[in-house]
Amino acid sequence: MTVKSDVEVLRQIPLFADADVTQLQILAFATERVACPAGSYLFEQGERGGAGYLVTEGTAEIFRNVGDDRMLVATAGRGAFVGELSMLAGQPYHFSARARTDLTALKVDKELFYRVAGEFPEFAEIVMKTLARKLDLSLNDLRDVERKLRDAPDLSSLDDSD
């Protein structure tokens, strides 16, 4: 792939959709291209989040470990950006991303992202507004779940012996 095609993939991501093409070119040029064979992991839940990954080819499965169980929560194909919140906050990844097929991704590390944001304050502003909207939507989703759980009947009082 070329920098031009990488820029087009970056532009598909809501986080970067309104960014200037020059800023996206710098980001695309400076990222590391990662090849991930089917069955291998881009990252695993609990690892320190130092990078986000933009899928340019292939498909990844997104898993969440809950106790001893692993739950498939999503799939990520071309244009998906995974791990971006952990990248920005430097927090551990909250899920695992495993290649379902041979996969290629652009690895956007935290230092690169912040360097571009530091040199282009308008880029930082656009990205932060997008993240604020994403977080707001997530909080609304959590409130909906909380409301549904609060309003759900208490099934623990049912007895199987009836």
Would residue 161 count as lying in a domain? no
Query: What pairing do the DSSP bridges indicate for beta strands 60-66 and 69-76?
Result: antiparallel
Please give the residue range of the domain that contains residue 68: 3-151
Q: What is the CATH number of the domain that holds 89?
A: 2.60.120.10
Tokens of 154: 């208490």
What are the CA-CA distances from residue 160 to residues 81, 152, 154 (Å)? 46, 19, 14
The whole-number pLDDT of residue 131 equals 75
The whole-number pLDDT of residue 157 equals 57
Contact 16, 127 (CB under 8 A): yes
pLDDT tens-digit series, residues 97-108: 999 999 999 998
Domains identified in the chain, total number? 1
Would residue 135 count as lying in a domain? yes
Would residue 160 count as lying in a domain? no
- When the pLDDT of each residue in the chain is averaged and rounded to a whole number, the result is 85
Axis crossing angle, helix 21-30 with helix 3-11, rounded to the nearest 10: 120
Would residue 124 count as lying in a domain? yes
Contact 100, 42 (CB under 8 A): no
Would residue 51 count as lying in a domain? yes
